[in-house]
Amino acid sequence: MAAVRPLRPMPQPINTAEISERRGRFEAPEISLIVPTYNERANVALVVEKVATALAGLRWEIIFVDDNSPDGTASAVRAMGAADARIRCIRRVGRRGLAGACIEGMLASQAPFVGVMDADLQHDETALVPMLEALRDGEFDVAIGSRYVGDGSADDGFTKTRLGASKLATTLTHRMLGIQVSDPMSGFFMLRRDIVDQVAGDLAHEGFKILADILASARGDLRVKDVPYGFRARQHGESKLDSQVAIDFLGLLISKATHNIMPVRFASFLLVGALGVGVHLCVLKAGLSLADMSFSRAQIIATLVAMTTNFWLNNRLTYSDSRLKGLAAVRGLGVFYLICAVGALSNIGVATWLYSSQAHASWWVAGFFGSVIGAVWNYALSSTLVWKR
Ligand SMILES: Nc1nc2c(ncn2[C@@H]2O[C@H](COP(=O)(O)OP(=O)(O)OP(=O)(O)O)[C@@H](O)[C@H]2O)c(=O)[nH]1
Ligand SMILES: [Mg+2]
């Protein structure tokens, strides 16, 4: 039998020794520290200074991943990189998101160990060496900077409300994802680079909680070392934490609890939809009781208000990375009304058929599947026609 001719010439094995001989010797770093930034110009030089002191004598690099900050963070980083090749900047244009930025930074690393740290100096850089030591001898896969174990504390960095929210999020993560680490909400951690390669395809790019996602995606297979540290107050600039982070987090929990069957964005879309049902009922009640309207008039107004609220919330939260503004938002709202109207018709059509004498489904099965069809339709078409993803 004739040998199959390869479509492309077979690649020659890479001779790394020859390459370093030809180009001069540059040893790869042992650790890459990924620092996501958005409007952190005033902090980046301080981060480099503190990290350089903490990691003195080690082979390190810092990769800042900046989402095109309007304050010029990326150019500040590049200016530092011009004088020190250990400082690099990935500038992402037209995209936003802390988790996505961390994933890209980690995948751009050449080092066997990658760490993630915020740019606002809330994380204590002196914990980096103990983290690295925990990983080096192979006893642990992940080292987590923890505020809730041993000498760790969150007192300086959190208000009482923020501490309460962080503890609630931790409990939800423990219960829903079965992750039993002390601080799964931590944005300060280090792990082996090859673990990132293994789970990268399962990680959600939306949201803030990349560590919880990595632990959930590895399905409990990682050996974790807690490294206590004191969480500090933000040095300069403003927090980027807002209501979108909360909805992204709930979306992530639902997505991971369903083993990625439900995408994070769809989970957020459903959460917004659930809020819309609440809005609908409140407006309906107000129309009937306060304005003395007929049921059908109150129902029409409630439907329009709920659809408009849903559009606004989805535009701010679910699709914040492709948010529509001005005329594009008005056009988007019109298309959203149309999609929802067809979604409602398909919901009613499917449910009625299931409940009919041909299909014999019980009322709740018919109602449930009708709603699922309507929700999937609304999501699929909104994603492609309104927010054009
Ligand atoms: N690349 C990128 N970085 C981001 C984005 N949002 C936040 N960051 C960075 O992520 C880090 C954490 O953000 P913070 O706003 O400090 O959030 P936090 O620490 O959870 O909240 P605070 O305790 O209120 O500071 C900071 O270095 C931010 O600059 C984003 O959309 N893209
Ligand atoms: Mg912060």
- Give the tens place of pLDDT for each residue, 145-189: 999 999 898 888 888 888 888 889 999 999 888 888 999 999 999
pLDDT band at 355 (very low <50, low <70, confident <90, very high): confident
Selected residue with higher pLDDT from 260 and 60: 60
How large a percentage of the chain has pLDDT more than 70?
Answer: 93
**CA pair distance 27, 121, nearest whole angstrom:** 28
Selected residue with higher pLDDT from 36 and 299: 36
**So where are the chain's domains?**
24-242, 264-386
For 152, residues 6+ apart whose C-beta sits below 8 A from its C-beta are 145, 146, 182, 183, 226, 228, 229, 230, 231
Q: Is the pLDDT of residue 13 over 60?
A: no
Q: Which residue intervals of the chain are DSSP H helices?
A: 16-23, 41-54, 73-83, 98-107, 128-136, 160-177, 193-199, 210-217, 243-257, 264-289, 295-313, 326-355, 363-381
**R_g of the chain, CA atoms, integer Å:** 25
pLDDT score recorded for residue 85: 93
Give me the mean pLDDT over the 95-99 stretch: 89
Rounded to the nearest whole angstrom, what is the distance from the C-alpha of residue 119 to the centroid of ligand 2? 8
The most confident of 46-50, 179-183, 344-348, 349-353, by mean pLDDT = 46-50
pLDDT band at 11 (very low <50, low <70, confident <90, very high): low
- Tell me which of 7-16, 190-199, 217-226, 260-269 is least confident: 7-16
Rounded to the nearest whole angstrom, what is the distance from the C-alpha of residue 36 to the centroid of ligand 2? 11
Q: Is the pLDDT of residue 260 over 60?
A: yes
Rounded to the nearest whole angstrom, what is the distance from the C-alpha of residue 239 to the centroid of ligand 2? 6
Give me the mean pLDDT over the 108-132 stretch: 96
Selected residue with higher pLDDT from 15 and 20: 15
List the structure tokens of 372: 């699922």
Closest residue by CA, ligand 1 atom 9: 37
Q: Is the pLDDT of residue 1 over 70?
A: no
Nearest of 353, 334, 348 to residue 377 by alpha carbon: 348
Q: Which residues line ligand 1 (CB under 6 A)?
A: 36-38, 40, 65-67, 96-98, 101, 118-120, 122, 157, 187, 208, 234, 239-241
Selected residue with higher pLDDT from 296 and 31: 31
3-state secondary structure of 314: helix
Q: Is the pLDDT of residue 142 over 70?
A: yes
Rounded to the nearest whole angstrom, what is the distance from the C-alpha of residue 190 to the centroid of ligand 2? 17
- Other CB atoms within a 10 A radius of the CB of residue 138 amount to 8
- Tell me which of 3-17, 92-106, 258-272 is least confident: 3-17
Asked if 20 and 103 touch (Cβ cutoff 8 Å), the reply is no
pLDDT band at 14 (very low <50, low <70, confident <90, very high): low
The one-letter amino acid code at 280 reads: H
- Tell me which of 10-24, 111-125, 342-356 is least confident: 10-24
Q: What is the DSSP letter of 153?
A: B
**CA pair distance 231, 186, nearest whole angstrom:** 10
**CA pair distance 278, 270, nearest whole angstrom:** 13
pLDDT band at 299 (very low <50, low <70, confident <90, very high): confident
The 10s digit of each residue's pLDDT in 199-226 is 999 998 887 889 999 999 988 789 999 9
Q: What is the DSSP letter of 123?
A: S
List the structure tokens of 116: 């993630």
pLDDT score recorded for residue 136: 94
For 288, residues 6+ apart whose C-beta sits below 8 A from its C-beta are 295, 298
Q: What is the CATH number of domain 24-242?
A: 3.90.550.10
Give me the mean pLDDT over the 82-109 stretch: 94
Q: Which of 35, 106, 120 to mutate to test the pocket of ligand 1 (most atoms within 8 A of CB)?
A: 120
Atom of ligand 1 nearest to the CA of 157: 23
Q: Is the pLDDT of residue 381 over 50?
A: yes
